[in-house]
Amino acid sequence: MKVRFWLVVYRVVFTAFLVSLAFQPALVGAEGFGPFPVRNFQPIQQLVLSMPGDRAAVLKKGVLDFRLELAETASIFRDQGPQASVTMKFETLRSGMFLRYGATERWELSVEVPVLYRNRGFMDGPIQAVERATTGLAPARDALGQSGYVFNISRGGRTVASGREGVVGLGDSTVMSKYQLLQETALLPALSVRTALKLPTGDEGQFFGSGSPDVGFGLAAEKGFGGRWVVYGNLNGVVPTGRIAGVSLQPTISGLIAVEYLWSENLSITTQFDYYSSPFHGVGTRTLDKGVTESVLGFSYRLTQHLLWQGYGIENLDFITGSAADFTLSTLLTYRLES
């Protein structure tokens, strides 16, 4: 998977560079579309609040964004330890409905309501083919090759988490706020402070929600360079409450760095790197105890003046072995209403 991903990155960036040498379309009033709204899609760690990637700039007063996001995540883990074990092989479709509103010239409010569907999915065959042709079949995928769907976490010989196949359920909703502290200047980046509150609306029995609220705080920055490049940064901290599968939770940190290349006013290519610490500690499995490192590559394309289409893929870099979801493929549509 990693060889395939970086080959794609190389080809996209190299092609864009060659074409840009031959033709540079005018960028009159163009601005970046921002980092992709990624989060930790690992199926158990994502039950704790994960603040999605965001830009520092806020919506203008009175502007309303409606966004629909579909993200398909393939997860596979076979982690056996003396204290606990994790065996998972399934895909999760996360459908997120997101509303964002410019309350003032510097203050933005938003709310997200996700729906989750856990299933066997469709990516196992293609992923196996790519792994066999490149790095070789991953040990977990090789061991669970004959299993279509598995979801079991045990601790002390007792099952503490499982979920049925084919179940659809509401996930935990999130209310967010963003206040812009600094406008971008020739020397300084734009800077905003973010807050988030996760509401326990998800089905705790099917592990679509944690059953408890979480609180998050963060900073978002962005700065343009050379008329065609925009760099984004996010740094977040989350304080979870309650327990998941009987396990206590600890505060988490997350962050991203994203670089966007503006090909035109309507099209850009973005790559970003994300890190998430784990809300679990001392469980006894890498899947739960270790953090997640991932890379993202995708595009943003303005279909009409008010409609934006984005697509991206997330690849597990595995700097911290055995904890991240295998691969995520996502597409988003955002419709903007201006007063």
Q: List the CATH number of the domain containing 114.
A: 2.40.160.40
Amino acid at 332: L
Q: Read off the pLDDT of residues 224-242 as tens digits, 9 standing for 90 and up.
A: 999 899 999 999 999 999 9
Structural domain span for residue 187? 2-337
pLDDT value at residue 111: 98
Structure-block tokens of residue 39: 């989060």
4-8, 73-77, 140-144, 272-276: segment of lowest average pLDDT: 4-8
DSSP string, 253-304: EEEEEEEEEESSSSEEEEEEEEEE--S--SSS-HHHHS-EEEEEEEEEEESS
Residues in contact with 119: Cβ distance below 8 Å, sequence separation at least 6, in sequence order:
90, 91, 92, 93, 149, 165, 166
Angstrom distance (rounded) from CA 233 to CA 191: 10
Bridge-based pairing state of the strands 173-182 and 107-119: antiparallel
Q: Read off the pLDDT of residues 94-118 as tens digits, 9 standing for 90 and up.
A: 999 999 999 999 999 999 999 999 9
Angstrom distance (rounded) from CA 13 to CA 301: 17
pLDDT for residue 43 is more than 90: yes
Backbone angles phi, psi at 12, to 5 degrees: -65, -50
Q: Mean pLDDT throughout 41-69?
A: 96
Question: How many domains, the chain?
Answer: 1
Residue with tokens 């988003």: 332
Angstrom distance (rounded) from CA 93 to CA 116: 6
Q: Read off the pLDDT of residues 290-327 as tens digits, 9 standing for 90 and up.
A: 999 999 999 999 999 999 999 999 998 865 567 888 89
Triad 327, 118, 53: Cα angle to 5°: 50
Structure-block tokens of residue 114: 């996700």
pLDDT value at residue 321: 64
- pLDDT band of residue 145 (cuts 50, 70, 90) is confident
Percent residues over pLDDT 70 in the chain: 87
Burial of 167-183, coded b for 16+ CB within 10 Å and e otherwise, reads: eebebbbbebebebeee
pLDDT value at residue 143: 73
Amino acid at 126: P
Q: Mean pLDDT throughout 181-199?
A: 97
Contact 300, 271 (CB under 8 A): no
- pLDDT band of residue 22 (cuts 50, 70, 90) is very low
